[in-house]
Copies of this chain bind each other. A is one copy, B any other.
Amino acid sequence: MPSPTLPPPPFDTSLDPIDQLRSVGREFHGRGWSLGTSSNYSVVSTRSPLELTITVSGKDKSALGRDDFVRVDAAGAPCDGSGRKSSAETLLHCLIAELVPSVGAVLHTHSVWSTILSRADLPRGAVRIEGYEMLKGLDGIVTHDTFEEVPIFANAQDMEELAARIRARIQAADWGDPKRPPFHGFLLSGHGLYTWGRDLAEARRQIEIHEFLFEVVARTRTFADAGVPTAVRQQQTSQQQQ
């Protein structure tokens, strides 16, 4: 007795890559992660030579058309003759596709919580996320009893310089254990999140996981003593003051 009334899902892996990317845009815009033409999304189209299909610069992500994508080479230069232009940040997509093993898709989003945390924790160089079951949604992690350090890079408009810093960080990490990548995404401070996956479904999942955990970590800080009854907190305060 299957129902004909279930509406199509927000993300459907049976669609072609372009329509999958369009669906991601619709969904992320709806959640407030890709407002105002922010964000860019890509899939690896070929590995040899490395070519990506990426969103054209400046598009409304809630209304991506089938022509709002451009094919670029490993250096981020358009290579499909369409004359379309992708964001300057295309270079970061290429870098990730080149350096991180097995990447098939890269997603970059701008959310409220990632923006806040990426500024708050820039002095520490990373957002530390520890002890949450949801960490198991990141590739290779099999227990909550671990931690993730999401690297934060100071934002920059000089994409070559920024790419060099990120390249150095990725190359310094040990990607040898496919069961436990050193990190699954990174933040640009005051800017947003990059994450990736073997395919778009995995990249979308890792966006959801990072965003969920950023919100948990940030909201927890708004009531740092949440677990402590008020009376105890007041006592602690007086003790500090003595």
Q: Give the interface of A toward B (CB within 8 A).
A: 1-3, 5-13, 15-16, 18-19, 22-23, 26, 29-30, 32, 35-38, 60, 62-63, 66, 110, 112, 115-117, 119-124, 131-134, 137, 142-145, 155, 157, 188, 190-192, 201, 205-206, 208-209, 211-212, 215-216, 218-224, 226-227, 230, 234, 237-238, 240-241
Q: Which residues of B contact A124 (CB under 8 A)?
A: 227
Closest to A241 in B: B241
Measured between beta carbons, the chain B residues less than 8 angstroms from A30 are 10
Residue pair B155, A144 in contact (C-beta under 8 Å): yes
Chain B contacts for A190, CB-based, 8 A: 131-133, 144
Q: Which of A6, A23, A30, A123 has the most CB atoms of chain B within a 10 A radius of its CB?
A: A6
Does A115 contact B132, Cβ atoms closer than 8 Å?
yes
- Is the Cβ of B220 less than 8 Å from the Cβ of A230? no
Interchain CB contact under 8 A, A116 and B219: yes
Contacts of A133 in B (CB 8 A): 38, 110, 115, 155, 188, 190-192
Query: When chains A and B are docked, how far (Å) is the Cα of A221 from the Cα of B219?
Result: 11
- B63 near A10: Cβ-Cβ < 8 Å: yes
**In this complex, which of A26, A112, A237 has the most chain B Cβ atoms within 10 angstroms of its Cβ?**
A112
Q: Is the CB of B3 within 8 A of A15?
A: yes
